[in-house]
Structures are given as C-alpha cells and as structure tokens.
Amino acid sequence: MNYPDIPILNQRFGAPGRIAFRTGEAGLPIISLVNAYGTCELSLYGGQVLSYRPTGHVPVLFTSKAAVYEPGKPIRGGIPICWPWFGPSSDKAQPLHGFARLMQWGLQATEYSSDVTEVRLALSDSELTRHFWPYAFDLTLRVWLDQRLNLALTTVNRDKRPFTLTQAFHPYFRVRQITDTTVRGLDQALYTDLLTGQTGVQQGALNIRSETDRVYLPTSPECVLQDTGIGRAIAVAFTGTRRLVVWNPWIDKAHAMPDFGDDEYQRMLCIEPANTAEDAVMLEPGARHTLSVALQASLT
C-alpha cells in the first residue's frame, strides 16, 4: 500500500500548533488535531480515530496493546468505521464489519478557527471496493474537535441502482475497571441480546458483569458512560440511527482474539451508534445519509 508523503501533507494541509501529520505504526500516516479543548489523532488507513484526549483528562479511547497495524487487517481500538455492513456479511468470505476500515482514505480538506479544528476524509468506489461491494458511492468522514469530539459519516449513492447498507461507529472507550462502570440513559430501552437471541427491557442503569453484546433502542439519542474508577463521565450523543450496540468480549472471547490482550476486557467498553439490520439505510440513486456521533467528557 502506497502512503502519501508526510512533508507534502504538512505543507498542503498542516497548520502549526493545530494540524500536523506524522508517520505512525507500520508507516501509517497519522493526522493530529489540536485546540484548547484537547487533541485527537486519526489514521488515513481505515479513516479511523485512534485517540482522543480532552484537556485535563486521561485518554478517552482504548487501543489494544496487541493491535495489528497491517494493510488488510483492522486496528483494534479507537473508533473503527463499520461500513457498508455491520457485523458479518451474508457472504462469510467477506470481512467482518465491511471494508471501509481496511481502506486507505483520501484527504479532502483541513481547517481551523479559534474553537474548532477539523479534517475531512473521503473514500469512493474503485476496482478494489467493487471486489467487496458492486456499487458506486462517495463516503465522506468529517471529524472536528471543539468542546466535544464529533464524527459525521455521509454516504452518497452514485450508482444507477438503489442500495441498502448497515453501518456503525465502533468506539472503544477506556475505563479503569469494567465492573466499576455504568451506562446511564438506557432505562426502559428495548434491547435484543445477540448472545441469546432474547429481547428485553432495560431496567435502570446498565452494569457489565459478563460478556455483553446487545442492540438497544434508547428512548433518546444519547447515553452516559459513568466511570467511578477514573472519576469521569462520557456523554455519547448520536444522529442518523435509533440504535446503540453495547459490547464487551469478557474473558473467553478476549482469550480467543489474537489482537486483544487476555485481560484487556477489564479496561474497555464499546458503545456504538449503529444502523443494524433492523434500522438499515436504503438509498436511491443520488440520495445521501449521515450517521454522526459526539463525545464529551466531564470529571465527576
């Protein structure tokens, strides 16, 4: 995989003290966004936010120490993009969670003001993407840093046929100890447990005490991850879907994943705005759809 030249990227798109490019793990080009409210880093490979640290906080996002940085493989941590399908494809030979997180994204623009630092990335159909998915599309990722970390993923159907997609932002949140964390804002939400196939209604706050893989239908498009170990709350607000997935692999699945430490399940929780199969997006030719998420951390 050919990567763009870092000095040229800094010359064309950088801004001293606000936007910078560097070479990361395995040569991956990394973008750093900085302002008074914090810092975040993105990889052009996968269009993936790798880190976010608000001013005065420890990092918000988790990345596994066993993560693999290799073309054709996903990076375990940060905020992967699942697109144009979420979960496994009907074709078992296709990559889990789609191909967007396995592609080199193009850089559209960067800009900044006194309060905002922003980058826009793009991915369009090519001979390589048509190997996975036979449609013409434009996919744009806008990431901007203000008092929150904001991501907006816009799909445009450039094909002559309608297509249907599922998708997600898949944030890995860093926690001190999973058993000391609580997810608030899901009370009375309907959910489907993907481990058992059963449905239910959430009663009160959600505490994680075992492997968890649930699709929630919250009563409002936001929730809060409360972490008493760190003394922090992370508000997660979203648009473009009605559903949130909450996931932690716990002990057995953590042991089974080669790019995830055996005990790292204790230090992460995924809360994912997702267009699942029950909330799939159907786009006519020329139509567009935007999925967005905003993260804001506060000390408690």
Residue 14 pLDDT > 80:
yes
Domain residues of the chain, as ranges?
6-178+250-292
Could you tell me which residues are beta bridge partners of residue 239?
A: 292
Rounded to two decimals, the pTM is: 0.97
Distances (CA, A) of 161 to 133, 269, 279, 284: 13, 38, 20, 7
Q: Closest by alpha carbon to 244, among 220, 228, 266, 227?
A: 220
* Catalytic residue annotation: 170, 272
Task: Give residue 87's identity as a one-letter amino acid code.
Answer: G
Q: Is 83 helix (H, G, I), strand (E, B) or coil?
A: strand
- DSSP-derived secondary structure letter, 278: G
Residue 182 pLDDT > 80:
yes
Residue 124 pLDDT > 90:
yes
Share of residues in the chain with pLDDT > 90 (%): 97
Residue 7 pLDDT > 90:
yes
Residue 271 pLDDT > 80:
yes
Rounded-to-integer distance, Cα 132 and Cα 113, Å: 39
State the first-to-last Cα distance of the chain, in angstroms, to the nearest integer: 44
The CATH number given to 6-178+250-292 is 2.70.98.10
Residue 124 class from Cβ within 10 Å (0-12 exposed, 13-18 middle, 19+ buried)?
Answer: middle
Helical ranges in the chain per DSSP H: 6-13, 127-132, 250-256
Confidence of residue 295 (pLDDT cuts 50, 70, 90): very high
Distances (CA, A) of 85 to 194, 209, 257, 280: 16, 29, 21, 9
Residue 185 pLDDT > 80:
yes
- DSSP-derived secondary structure letter, 179: G
pLDDT at 91: 87
pLDDT at 211: 98
Q: What is the pLDDT of residues 206-220, one digit of tens each?
A: 999 999 999 999 999
What average pLDDT score do residues 55-62 get?
A: 97
